[in-house]
Structure 1
Amino acid sequence: MQINAFEKDLPEIAAKSAMSRHSKYLDKWCYELGLILKAVEGVWRLTGKSEYFDYIKHSADRFIDNGGNIIDYDINELNLDMVNPGKILLLLYNETSDIRYRKAAGTLRKQLDRQPRNRQGGFWHKAVYPHQMWLDGVYMSSPFYAQYALLFDEVQAFDDIANQVILLASNAKDTATGLLYHAWDESRGMKWSNDITGCSPHFWGRAMGWYAMAVVDILDFFPSTHPKRSVILEILKNLLTALVQFQDEETGLWYQVVDLPERKGNYLEASASCMFAYSYAKSISCGYLDGTFKTPLLKAYNGVLRHLTYIDDLGCMNLKNVCSVAGLGGNPYRDGSFAYYISEPVVENDYKGYGPLMLALTEIEKLRRKNLI
């Protein structure tokens, strides 16, 4: 069944659908866990209903022991992906004052102190990916970093947080299109990296989605008087402006490889489209973008509901056309080519798409309540 775009309860329908399904991501400490619980948090704040907070707490408590240690987490991996669920620990500490959550969040904060960096101070994405900054990594680490810094008065940290955002905007940006490449290798040593720029070869939609969501979320905590706040706002506006030019005219969606819609095998991808919709909606709501951006937002919103979502026989909302996973390097080797990006499995309801769907629906409902759309 097709979904009615004017249905007011879409955030709750989406949340209850996610909560009714078991996912492998609920069984391990991983960034997808943090993403879906952050999306449920949005619905909890929108509705005030305790069932959503209870779901978040129950899901997180499976990984925090009585001593505040994170089960299934190894700080020595120095993997930025593992920091993302820390945002939920900060939420739970704020709401319950349970010191276990503060201790666990503090462990993730210590990881950032130990995280390897390139010569310009940018975090390596993982210890096993030397010298590399990925767009994904900003989302995985910097919103948590900013929230922690605000909560525990680490004023000096905001210079470092700004640097993570600015380094990729400076080094991974294509000046011709305004788009950002998936990753940047300062050393130029990776086979996928350009010998001159160090950038990976293509514009992967979800990578830019992670980055856009990261920037708009960081701004929730970034001091209004900080001299780099205006720089970060400009980076956000420039990226969201550039993306409008690559929005599919017919559907309002974005392609897996954003700038090559005509290439055989390319497809309209759900996670990127939902991430961009969320970023537009929240940016408009917060006043970072003016009203002219309502047009691409509403095109994306209607496109996601019309072409990518459906209600099944159980009354659950489903999201199709989600790229299951994509990365660079590793074994087997991922070369960042067009052929690679379109070769990864396309699935339904993966949290990397479903979480952003929930986030977008919630932000759009907030715009409705403000009479901004």
Structure 2
Amino acid sequence: MMKAINHILKISLLSLVTAFAVSCDVKEKKETTDKEVTTKDTAVPTDLKWSERMMLSEIHRFPEASKLDFVDVPRWSYTNGLVLTATERVYKKYPKEVYYNYIYEYADTMVTKDGTIRTYDLDKQNLDMLKSGDVLLYLYNKTKEERFLTALHTLRSQIDTQPRTSDGGFWHKKRYTNQMWLDGLYMAEPFYAQYTKQFSKGEEATKAFDEIVLQFDLIQQHTLDPTTNLLYHGWDESKEQQWANKETGTSPNFWSRAMGWYGMAMVDVLDFLPEDHPGRERIIEYLNQYAEAITKVQDSKTGVWYQVLDKGAGNGNYLEATGSCMFTYTFTKGVKKGYLPEKYLDVAKKAYDGILENFITVEENGVVNLNKCCAVAGLGGNPYRDGTFEYYVNEKIRANDPKGTGPFVMASLALDK
């Protein structure tokens, strides 16, 4: 009788152990499944550094790099070149194929087999269109595809025919007659300098580097405000534009992103300007003067900058993301390259913390957003943009403008955040 009872107890105990084991296994499988679902639903991993998180977020938002900047059809434009320059730098540090493919597919889409650049119109003489030439310089060095070289030569030819002011300054576009804009220094000069370093020799190279430095000399001469050392957005040599000061030809305000473009132009062009070129030290002096002026108008509470730099208290003015990212990148690179004193790295770090606090949000799927970006601003055109304070603060504000996300990635890389 006792043997029978013991046998029954053993069977019961074995059944309980087996049931518990199965239960645990089911629970473990469920947890694993939940984890897999969570990972699958995460578009951007949150354990990466901010540079990769934003870069992957851009790829998530714009799977085709040719449609960056919220457009429906592929186009050749400066915003593509800006973001893909950032992508190139991410790829250099984190060599994942997703980054290289993103760069290559843009050029593959936009450059035909015979080297024609789709949607690019040389006759418009638009400096903005040179910025994506940086992408081709990078890809030609890696692939040696002849079509990329042909396209590069086409872009370089634009500089030879670019309309100029009487003292040699590039017009921003053919339709913006007699005008230099701060934006144009970033769009044209790093490309021009890198192309020259790579392809030009002797007297041809010397002449090109002299002309590049001249653009910085002229923009300083014509747009610098001697009181604040800030630079006005644009200058009209003819003084005929409605926005132009009738005595100086300058536009009336200091726009954050315009000065952001200019700062990035200085630190990037120095990568390619020969060490012994006499204009190199001048550009570094301009950069130091610039850094001091920009620091003076940094918002002391948040560490970032206003849309109209010197009028933080103005009605409707706001803390703006794209210019703030550009300044942060400029200061960080300037210090790390030895162009700026160490104190400006503290300025950059404060600004970066302010960007994270005031502009960055993260969605449930890990996608990173950069908010409070001025969508676009310019001078003249139709409808007419008069460069007033009211004009700048009332332009459209949006999230994830590539003119902000690109510099945010580059600043994040430079600071290794």
Query: Normalised by the shorter chain, which TM-score bucket?
Result: over 0.9
User: Could you say what secondary structure the match of 1:155 adopts?
Assistant: helix
Letter in 1 for 2:279: K
Match of 1:134 in 2: 181
| Equivalent residues, number | 361
Match of 2:236 in 1: 185
User: Could you say what secondary structure the match of 1:236 adopts?
Assistant: helix
Matched, 1:16 2:56: yes
Inter-partner Cα distance in structure 2 for 1:305 and 1:42? 21
User: Could you say what secondary structure the match of 1:129 adopts?
Assistant: coil
Letter in 2 for 1:362: L
Report the Cα offset of residue 131 of structure 1: 0.5
Matched, 1:343 2:383: no
Inter-partner Cα distance in structure 1 for 2:338 and 2:149? 32
Letter in 2 for 1:109: R
In the alignment, which of 98, 116, 122 is matched to residue 169 of structure 2? Answer: 122
Match of 2:368 in 1: 317
Report the Cα offset of residue 278 of structure 1: 0.4
In the alignment, which of 142, 153, 177 is matched to residue 95 of structure 1? Answer: 142
Higher mean displacement: 152-161 or 65-74: 152-161
Match of 2:125 in 1: 78
Inter-partner Cα distance in structure 2 for 1:115 and 1:334? 23
Inter-partner Cα distance in structure 1 for 2:141 and 2:214? 27
In the alignment, which of 204, 207, 220 is matched to residue 271 of structure 2? Answer: 220
Match of 2:43 in 1: none
Inter-partner Cα distance in structure 1 for 2:169 and 2:253? 21
Correspondences of 1:28-107 after superposition (within 5 Å): 28-107=75-154
User: Alpha-carbon deviations, 1:329-366, whole Å to 9, x = none?
Assistant: 0111100000000110100001111111111111111x
Correspondences of 1:260-299 after superposition (within 5 Å): 260-299=311-350
Inter-partner Cα distance in structure 2 for 1:194 and 1:67? 46
Letter in 1 for 2:54: A
- Alpha carbons of 1:242 and 1:8: their partners in 2 closer, same or farther (altered >3 Å)? farther
Matched, 1:199 2:246: no
Report the Cα offset of residue 171 of structure 1: 1.0
Give the percent of matched residue pairs that are identical in Structure 1 and Structure 2: 46
Inter-partner Cα distance in structure 1 for 2:56 and 2:106? 14
User: Could you say what secondary structure the match of 2:380 adopts?
Assistant: coil
Report the Cα offset of residue 241 of structure 1: 1.2
Letter in 2 for 1:11: S
Letter in 2 for 1:119: S
Report the Cα offset of residue 8 of structure 1: 6.0
User: Alpha-carbon deviations, 1:41-76, whole Å to 9, x = none?
Assistant: 110112222321111001221100000110111100
User: Could you say what secondary structure the match of 1:159 adopts?
Assistant: helix
User: Could you say what secondary structure the match of 1:27 adopts?
Assistant: coil
User: Alpha-carbon deviations, 1:1-26, whole Å to 9, x = none?
Assistant: xxxxx976111111111111124357
Report the Cα offset of residue 244 of structure 1: 0.4
Matched, 1:238 2:289: yes
Inter-partner Cα distance in structure 2 for 1:358 and 1:217? 15
Letter in 2 for 1:310: T
User: Could you say what secondary structure the match of 1:179 adopts?
Assistant: coil
Correspondences of 1:295-306 after superposition (within 5 Å): 295-306=346-357
Higher mean displacement: 110-119 or 24-33: 24-33
Query: Structure 1: which 4+ aligned runs deviate by more than 4 Å?
Result: none
Inter-partner Cα distance in structure 2 for 1:329 and 1:19? 33
Report the Cα offset of residue 155 of structure 1: 3.2
In the alignment, which of 161, 165, 176 is matched to residue 227 of structure 2? Answer: 176
Matched, 1:109 2:156: yes
User: Could you say what secondary structure the match of 2:175 adopts?
Assistant: coil
Inter-partner Cα distance in structure 2 for 1:241 and 1:307? 23
Inter-partner Cα distance in structure 1 for 2:48 and 2:355? 16
User: Could you say what secondary structure the match of 2:361 adopts?
Assistant: strand
Give the alignment's TM-score, normalised by structure 1.
0.95
Letter in 1 for 2:175: V
Inter-partner Cα distance in structure 1 for 2:400 and 2:261? 17
**Stretches of structure 2 lacking an aligned partner (at least 5 in a row):** 1-45, 63-67
**Stretches of structure 1 lacking an aligned partner (at least 5 in a row):** 1-5, 369-373
Inter-partner Cα distance in structure 1 for 2:301 and 2:191? 37
Letter in 1 for 2:213: A
Give the alignment's TM-score, normalised by structure 2.
0.85
The structure that is helix-richer by fraction is: 2
Letter in 2 for 1:328: L
User: Could you say what secondary structure the match of 1:102 adopts?
Assistant: helix
Which protein is bigger by CA-based radius of gyration?
2
Letter in 2 for 1:106: H
